[in-house]
Amino acid sequence: AQTVTQSQPEMSVQEAETVTLSCTYDTSESDYYLFWYKQPPSRQMILVIRQEAYKQQNATENRFSVNFQKAAKSFSLKISDSQLGDAAMYFCAYRRITGGGNKLTFGTGTQLKVEL
């Protein structure tokens, strides 16, 4: 079974600084997707960024980028120029490409605080 581990329950960052959230996963599959979701206090789950495992290039979306290390099964999220609106719970998630229905396997989340 696939597992996703986020070892940082809480992180803090100063506004305009950079922060990196860690995620590791375990799978026997060779092809899969990895995601970072943001959950603000409104509870809405918002997709931040996704990575296809077969792509070597790290995904980037504006201030958000990932460091995908397939051999190490590591998938960290870097937030540059942090803003107050980035404060939220961040979840790392995994999904198989074939089979498995619609199952996303989530980590336990990292609560990010942004300080002035």
Strand locations in the chain (E): 3-5, 10-14, 19-21, 24-26, 32-39, 46-52, 60-61, 64-69, 74-79, 88-96, 105-106, 110-115
Q: How many residues sit close enough to other proteins to count as binding (CB under 8 A)? A: 20
Q: How far is the CB of 48 from other proteins (least distance, A)?
A: 11
DSSP letters spanning 50-73 = EEETT--SPPEETTEEEEEETTTT
Q: Does 101 bind other proteins (CB under 8 A)?
A: yes
User: Which residue number, 101 or 116, has a Cβ lying nearer to other proteins?
Assistant: 101
User: Which residue number, 62 or 116, has a Cβ lying nearer to other proteins?
Assistant: 62
Task: Give the one residue of 22, 27, 33, 67 binding other proteins; rule: CB under 8 A.
Answer: 33
Q: Does 62 bind other proteins (CB under 8 A)?
A: no
